[in-house]
Amino acid sequence: MGKEEDRVLIIGAGPAGLFCAYRLVEAGIPVLIADRMMSPGRKFLLAGASGGLNCTHQGTPDELSQKYYGNEELFKGLLTEFSPAALANWYKTMGSDTFVGNGGKVFTKLGAPEILKHWLEHLDRASWGSPRQAGIPLFTFQGGCEFTGFGDKPDIFMFRQDGKTLELKAKYAVFALGGGSHPETGSNGAWTSLFQAAGIQVAPLRSANCGVAVRWSEPLKERIAELGQIGKTKGYTSLNIRLRCGGASSTGEVVLTPRGLEGSGVYSIGYYIRQQLDKTGSCKVGADLLPDLFQEQITRRLTKPQGKNSLSNYARKALGLAGLPYALFRELSPEGDLRKVKDLYLTVTGCNPLEEAISSAGGVCMAELDANFMLKSRPGCFVIGEMADWEAPTGGYLLQGCFSISYRASEKIIDLLSH
Ligand SMILES: Cc1cc2nc3c(=O)[nH]c(=O)nc-3n(C[C@H](O)[C@H](O)[C@H](O)COP(=O)(O)OP(=O)(O)OC[C@H]3O[C@@H](n4cnc5c(N)ncnc54)[C@H](O)[C@@H]3O)c2cc1C
């Protein structure tokens, strides 16, 4: 007869925790997954809210690992063990084909809600009737159950549910509590102080894949409001400009807002921007306002004299530079030197708040974890997903990272329980 305390306790029902549950249940291991929210996968649902879910990225482990800044070797191994192709196959078993979109981004055909529905149904179906664990379901979700700290014995974990204290006992516990962005999804990062109180080193959670602040002049802010806004709720239009920082150049859209810059083009160089901000409190970012033209083409086109044209007319006629890109040009080049349109600089003064970011940098320090993401100081406790200290840009790398880490930790637990 299976005992409740023999279940693996997974804390946090985001993609990392739910995938761990999936792997363990498939192996016939009973799990209890607890989450402070009443329903699972709230951030996963948000991730796929605006169209298809960018679930992974095309490329070899060697290529993709370069996006996991500072942890390239670790992720090369993780992505070899559970690759983008393996993840795409898994989505297929969850009812969704995938397709390759712009720049190698891989999307699911089904939206996140349908995938999550299949996922939970799969776990529910597998729930009963395992010959190994007759008596308790293989999968139990306990919502509204908030982890509040480690108990006084290594196998005791403290929770709050319905205003009451609850102790759960488990030999193996998997923490998958996420980062601190979009706390309305449940991932509020409050676990950091609980882990620190237990002597576990945690790098502070910080905004990653976030907009950055630029102190635009009032006239430019007005121009952005006038020319940039698509609609009251739809945000701002993206520009075809390229940004550079720390030897990296942006890939993806760049959006001008009255507060600064947003969009995947900014997120892709965000790591380098943050490093410079940490050093000096501000960061110079190179801006190429005409990335589709070579410098020689620009020089040639500008040999035609300006004549009686105003600068804005001349820029429009000679280079096709008009509207908001032209307003940005005037902001960054007060002297109006069109020859420098590919080589301008803007100053970033900070990152937008963590609550608004796509993901968090920081988390449980890698030095606290062994190769299988088990806490060295608490054998039997694993830390997976975004709550470990790694980061990557948007483009499918975040979910792929969560799944690959979860895969490795799950394999280890399966191995431990089969001996
Ligand atoms: C707007 C947005 C768009 C995104 N788009 C993409 C995308 O297109 N592609 C991509 O790859 N990634 C995307 N991401 C990032 C991706 O969603 C996250 O990296 C991923 O969800 C992290 O998974 P996780 O399981 O580690 O943590 P989470 O999904 O954050 O799950 C953590 C869970 O832990 C629970 N929890 C937290 N604290 C406690 C506690 N004390 N007790 C109990 N439970 C607790 C939370 O309620 C939550 O359910 C996006 C994120 C956002 C915000």
Task: Please state, for a pLDDT cut of 90, what percent of the chain lies above it.
Answer: 85
Is residue 207 pLDDT above 50, yes or no?
yes
pLDDT score recorded for residue 103: 87
Q: Which pLDDT band holds residue 228 (cuts at 50, 70, 90)?
A: low
pLDDT score recorded for residue 133: 53
Per-residue pLDDT of 9-37, as tens digits, reads 999 999 999 999 999 999 999 999 999 99
pLDDT score recorded for residue 321: 96
Q: Is the CB of 359 under 6 A from ligand 1?
A: yes
Q: Is the CB of 391 under 6 A from ligand 1?
A: no
Range with lowest mean pLDDT among 47-51, 156-160, 334-338: 47-51
* Pocket test residue of 32, 36, 43, 159 for ligand 1, highest count of atoms within 8 A of CB: 43
Q: Read off the tokens for 166.
A: 């609850």
* Pocket test residue of 398, 405, 406, 410 for ligand 1, highest count of atoms within 8 A of CB: 398
pLDDT score recorded for residue 346: 97
Per-residue pLDDT of 347-399, as tens digits, reads 999 999 999 999 999 999 999 999 999 999 999 999 999 999 999 999 999 99
Which one is the CATH code of 4-207+355-417: 3.30.465.10, 3.40.50.300, 3.40.50.1370, 3.50.50.60?
3.50.50.60
Tell me how far the alpha carbon of residue 43 lies from the centroid of ligand 1, in angstroms.
4
- Please identify which residue in the block is written with the tokens 């507060």: 259
Q: Which pLDDT band holds residue 185 (cuts at 50, 70, 90)?
A: very high
pLDDT score recorded for residue 4: 72
Is residue 1 pLDDT above 80, yes or no?
no
pLDDT score recorded for residue 326: 95
Q: Which pLDDT band holds residue 236 (cuts at 50, 70, 90)?
A: confident
pLDDT score recorded for residue 329: 97
pLDDT score recorded for residue 134: 57
Per-residue pLDDT of 114-164, as tens digits, reads 999 999 999 988 876 554 555 788 999 999 999 999 999 999 999 999 999
pLDDT score recorded for residue 409: 98
Q: Which pLDDT band holds residue 2 (cuts at 50, 70, 90)?
A: low
Task: Please state, for a pLDDT cut of 70, what percent of the chain lies above it.
Answer: 95
Ligand 1 atom showing the smallest separation from residue 54 Cα: 8
Q: Where are the domains of the chain?
A: 4-207+355-417, 212-351
pLDDT score recorded for residue 230: 55
Higher pLDDT, 238 or 245: 245
Is residue 198 pLDDT above 80, yes or no?
yes
Ligand 1 atom showing the smallest separation from residue 400 Cα: 11
Q: Is the CB of 46 under 6 A from ligand 1?
A: yes
Q: Is the CB of 191 under 6 A from ligand 1?
A: yes
Q: Which pLDDT band holds residue 232 (cuts at 50, 70, 90)?
A: very low
Mean pLDDT on 280-295: 96
